[in-house]
Amino acid sequence: MNIDPPLALLAEITHRCPMRCLYCSNPVNLEPASRELDTATWLRVLDEAADLGVYQVHFSGGEPTARKDLGELVQHAAELDLYTNLITSGVLLESEDLFRLADAGLEHVQLSFQDTDAAGGDRIGGLKDAHRRKLEVAGWVVDAGMAFTVNAVIHRHNAGRVGEMIELAVELGAGRLEVASVQYYGWGLKNRAYLMPTEQQLDAVTEIVEAARDRLAGVLTIDYVIPDYYARRPKACMGGWGRRFVNIDPSGRVLPCHAATTIPGLTFDTVQDHALEHIWQHSDAFNRFRGTEWMPEPCASCDFREVDWGGCRCQAMALTGDAAQTDPVCSLSPLHESVRALAEREAGAGTETAVYRGAKKESVLRDLS
């Protein structure tokens, strides 16, 4: 098989994070700081990524600004002519940090907002005063002259404020807004019943987003990802397994996607043991679901098999217990109706309990404790 190089490296440089978002898609068991790659190894990995043909580096986590060497990594990536993006909650940043990152060559910042309502945002993010700090950071990003995207994750408890979220993104001076529905992996899967929107909410969000796209053409680009469970066709997750993205976790494991460790039976090579190009080309984990040969029916004979690449392997794992199944959000999957019924049941039940990372038991989510 002729394997093209990946477009982008997702560099998960740490799993440390002061926030405890109820929808966090990072694994349930996070890598501790003691297992994080050191600076020299990340610098080497960036060299290898550039040699491989990678075009963009997305520094993420956890909260990537928790690492003191972020500026050094950004500068090195910029010197290699890699496009640099920081995906951040913003809550650890001071203005001088941001200007230093801009000087180091950082080109783009994606800043997450949990809500437009401070209390709601802080509750979903599990951190007091987070919303106010994010508003401050947004001003610094604009002042520093970097490209700016607001990331907004939509769920049952904030879907009614998507219009306000669009207005907020415009007011903050963002050029792009990502309105993304919760993806139920990792920790977020535990809180699915709390987060799942109703179909009526989803229809209203879609209508508001579509109207805003027309109204704000040339001012704000809006990317919109509907909740998988209500979709008719699955997303081409990661642009297809092992096609566009390579993800490196804090301990150096090279993954086809950030949730791939939820799939049992896959073995992941590490950047300590092998060069990135070798892993991209030869790793069992990448080759297991690359292309179309692994596909079962109905994907194997479907006209969309090179459009969505069979959907999301991690979702197939989470919903069927078998990552090699057709993603059951696809309407051609025999399990599709049961997934939709599950979404409607969970959204309709209106549960008011969820669980934060580190909490001993489920909490009723009225106030942060």
The identity of residue 366, as a single letter, is R
The pair phi, psi for residue 142, each rounded to 5°, is -65, -45
Q: In this complex, which beta carbon is closest to ligand SF4, that of residue 122 or of residue 327?
A: 327
**Exposed/middle/buried for residue 117 (C-beta within 10 Å: 0-12, 13-18, 19+):** middle
Q: In this complex, which beta carbon is closest to ligand SF4, that of residue 138 or of residue 299?
A: 299
Listed ranges 25-33, 64-72, 122-130, 306-314: which one lies at the site for ligand SF4 (CB under 6 A): 306-314
**Which of 6, 126, 311, 328 forms a contact with ligand SF4 (CB under 6 A)?**
311
Q: Which residues bind ligand FES (CB under 6 A)?
A: 185, 237-238, 257, 259-260, 312-315
Looking only at the bridges linking them, the beta strands covering 176-181 and 147-154 are parallel
Listed ranges 5-13, 15-23, 208-216, 296-304: which one lies at the site for ligand SF4 (CB under 6 A): 296-304
- Report the run of H or E that residue 224 belongs to, with start and end: strand 221-225
H-helix segments, the chain: 39-52, 70-79, 95-104, 118-125, 130-143, 162-172, 186-190, 192-195, 199-215, 276-282, 284-288, 313-320, 336-349
Q: How far is the CB of 76 from ligand FES (least distance, A)?
A: 28
Q: Which does 237 bind (CB under 5 to 8 A by kind): ligand FES, ligand SF4, none?
A: ligand FES
Listed ranges 121-129, 146-154, 256-264, 295-303: which one lies at the site for ligand SF4 (CB under 6 A): 295-303
Q: How far is the CB of 291 from ligand SF4 (least distance, A)?
A: 12
Q: How far is the CB of 311 from ligand FES (least distance, A)?
A: 8
* Contacting residues for 205 by C-beta, under 8 A, at least 6 apart: 154, 159, 162, 179, 197
Q: In this complex, which beta carbon is closest to ligand FES, that of residue 195 or of residue 237?
A: 237
Restricting to residues 204-233, name those near ligand SF4 by CB under 6 A. 233
| Total residues in contact with ligand SF4, by rule CB under 6 A | 14
Question: x/- binding map, residues 319-348, to ligand SF4, per CB under 6 A?
Answer: -------xx--x-x----------------
What is the phi-psi region of residue 85: left when phi exceeds 0, alpha when psi lies from -120 to 50, beta otherwise?
beta
Using an 8 Å Cβ cutoff, are 279 and 48 in contact? no
271 vs 251: CA distance, rounded Å: 9
Q: In this complex, which beta carbon is closest to ligand FES, that of residue 33 or of residue 307?
A: 307
Q: Considering only CA atoms, which of 83, 19, 5, 88 is closest in space to residue 48?
A: 5
Listed ranges 242-250, 255-263, 279-287, 299-307: which one lies at the site for ligand SF4 (CB under 6 A): 299-307
302 is a contact residue toward ligand SF4 (CB under 6 A): yes
Q: Write down how long the chain is.
A: 369
3 state SS of 60: strand
